[in-house]
Amino acid sequence: MWHEGLIYKLIKYQFPDNLIKIIQRFLSNRKFQVKINQVPSTVRNIQEGTPQGISLSHTLYNSFNSDFPRNDKVLNCLFADDSAILT
C-alpha cells in the first residue's frame, strides 16, 4: 500500500489529525532484513505496505481501497488485504 496515498485519503475522509499522525508514525521508519543460509542481508527501509498480523492493517487497507472504481465491465475482487481487478 502506498503510504502517501493512504494519508491523502485519510485526510480526504476527514480522519482526526491526531489519528493521522499516529498512523504516519506507525508506517514510518520501518525496516527489514532477511537471512539466507544464516547470512543476514543489508537492513532496508520498508516504503510500502502495512505490517502483517496487525488488525489496524486491515482497516487501513479498507480505507485505501474504499474508492475503487465501480464499473459493469470491471470486476473488483477484494479479500482481506488482497485485490484483483478483472476486465
Grid cell listed for 56? 489496524
Model pTM? 0.73
Cell of 5: 496515498
Quote the longest CA-to-CA distance of the chain: 51
- Which residue is it, cell 539466507? 36
Every domain of the chain and the residues it spans: 3-86
What is the DSSP annotation of 61-82? HHHHHTT---BTTBEEEEETTE
Backbone phi, psi, residue 42, to 5°? -65, 145
Q: Which three cell numbers stand for residue 27?
A: 508506517
Q: What is the pLDDT along the chain (87 residues), one digit of tens a residue?
A: 899 999 999 999 999 999 999 999 999 999 999 999 999 999 999 999 998 888 888 889 888 888 877 788 878 777 766 778 788
Pull the grid cell for residue 6: 493512504
